[in-house]
């Protein structure tokens, strides 16, 4: 009888542990990235079709650049703080900027490629 008791306790513990891991995994995957709408502010016409996209999950900004070679300047700023980074892009590139330390508020992301700037706003 003791063997059956311990078998049931072990089974219940495994079930509870499995449910905890499943719930934790579900919470992590619910942090989906939201696309930031970008507007081309200034620049010159180019023969290539450069694509720039930005996404946020509240803790990071992800910038994707396609069909461009050169330096990419990324700035995030608002009334509550700022963050920035620079990366070199060779045809395609991605950078992730940590904004975890910025307090809640409305921010602007500015992405500059050569003489062209893309801007968009988001709420953290």
pLDDT digits (tens, 9 = 90+) for 99-113: 999 999 999 999 999
Q: Is the dihedral of CA 87, 56, 92, 65 positive or negative?
A: negative
Query: Which pair of structure tokens corresponds to residue 38?
Result: 């970008």
Asked if 78 and 107 count as a contact pair (C-beta separation under 8 A), the reply is yes
The model's pTM is: 0.71
Rounded Cα distance, 8 and 16, in Å:
12
What is the predicted pLDDT for the residue at 29?
42
What is the predicted pLDDT for the residue at 26?
40
Looking at the chain, the whole-number percentage of residues with pLDDT higher than 70 is 69
Distances (CA, A) of 15 to 22, 24, 28: 11, 14, 20
């Amino acid at each position: 009888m003791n063997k059956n008791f311990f078998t049931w306790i072990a089974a219940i513990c495994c079930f509870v542990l499995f449910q905890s891991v499943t719930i934790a995994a579900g919470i992590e995957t619910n942090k989906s990235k939201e696309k930031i709408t970008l507007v081309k502010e200034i620049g010159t016409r180019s023969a290539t079709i450069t694509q720039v996209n930005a996404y946020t999950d509240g803790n990071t900004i992800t910038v994707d650049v396609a069909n461009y070679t050169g330096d990419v300047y990324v700035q995030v700023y608002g009334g509550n703080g700022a963050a920035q980074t620079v990366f070199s892009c060779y045809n395609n590139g991605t950078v992730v900027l940590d904004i975890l330390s910025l307090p809640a508020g409305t921010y602007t992301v500015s992405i500059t490629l050569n003489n062209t700037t893309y801007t968009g706003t988001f709420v953290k």
